Every structure is written in C-alpha cells, then in structure tokens.
Amino acid sequence: MIRPARKIYDWASGKAQSRFAPFWLGVIFLFELILFIPFDALLMLFCIQNPQRRFLYASAATLASLGTATIGYFAGHWLWDAIGSFVVGHIISEQFFARLVDHYSNHEHLAVFIGSLLPIPFKAITVSAGFCHLSFWSFAISIFLARALRFFLVAEMMHHWGDRIKAFIDRHFGRIIMALGAKIALTFTFFWALGF
C-alpha cells in the first residue's frame, strides 16, 4: 500500500513542477466523480512545490470540482432510473440517501454548501441534489462558493506552513498513508453502518 502511494506522490510532485501543472491538477480533481478520497492533499502538494501559483491551482481545483459536480447533478437529474439502483446500495446506503433527500427538502442549497465544505463523499451530494431537482444554477453557485472557499484556504495555508508540512510528510509518509487507509476504512464502515 505504501509503495504505490509513494509512486503516486512522486508522480504528482513531478507534475507539480511542470508548466502544465494546473491542467494536471484539474484532470486529477475530475476523479472526484468516481473515487471516495478527498483530493485536498494533492492540492497541498502542488501548492508546496510551486507556492507562487497556489491561487491558480486552487482555481483549477475549484473549476474541475464544479465540473464533476455538474456531471453528478445531471446524472441524478436525468439518469436516476438507470443508475439509481447501482448508486443506492453499491455506493451509498438507502438510509443515507434518504437522509440526504430529507436535508435537501428542508435546507436545499445550504445543505449543498455545507456538504461541499466537509470531507464527505462528494458524489453523494451532487447526485442526490440532481435527483431532488434543485435549481441547477443555485446548486452550481453553492458548489462553486464552497469549493473555492475550501481550496483557497488550503492554498493559503500551504503558503504559510507549506515547508514544515512537506518536511513532516516526507519524514512520516508511511505513517500518514496508514492513517489515511484507516480513515477510508472507517468512513466505509460508518456509511455501511448507516445502512442498518
């Protein structure tokens, strides 16, 4: 587990030095659509490697995240009959999805904004928002504002403490990967438990 993660870390470090770094970061963030991990760590890496471009990286991450949110929204809006049975049951539990729908009914775009700030499965927020037929433009504005706030805060934190964070990551990389693996396992266990 540690060796493949180290290869990805080294690959991302190399891409962060490229003049096409914003493009690579945007492409990586498009994987939010299918993966359950928060990609903030890669944004941190890019900002550490090239701090003067941190706002460009945060912008690329925000726009790519908005792109994945749009795909998720329209998947929920138009394709629910085709993909709903796969999403509910395979990706999220029926009870968790019912709870999301209830939150949208009561809080609508505030729920989208807060959910997009938190490290919870992004696809669950976007697909269920489409399924609930929230206004697309209000949804997109909520996503954009929340993700921009989150990613620009990460970028600015890296500007102030990036060197110390990078030294810590390099020194404790194996332990960090083990902790992230445990967190992902606990997250899956938590959402699985919600199904009961």
Mean pLDDT (the chain, rounded): 76
Which of the pair, 55 or 123, is modelled with greater confidence? 55
What tens digit of pLDDT does each residue of 52-84 get?
Answer: 888 988 998 899 889 989 988 998 888 777 766
- pLDDT of 158 reads 85
- In this structure, what token pair is assigned to residue 97? 């999805």
Mapped onto helix, strand or coil, the DSSP state of residue 133 is coil
d(CA 75, CA 68): 10
What tens digit of pLDDT does each residue of 130-139 get?
Answer: 888 888 999 9
As a whole number, mean pLDDT of residues 179-193 equals 59
- In this structure, what token pair is assigned to residue 164? 């110390």
The whole-angstrom distance between residue 11's C-alpha and the CA centroid of its chain comes to: 20
Residue 87, pLDDT > 70, answer no
As a whole number, mean pLDDT of residues 171-191 equals 61
Residues β-bridged to residue 88? 92
Mapped onto helix, strand or coil, the DSSP state of residue 143 is helix
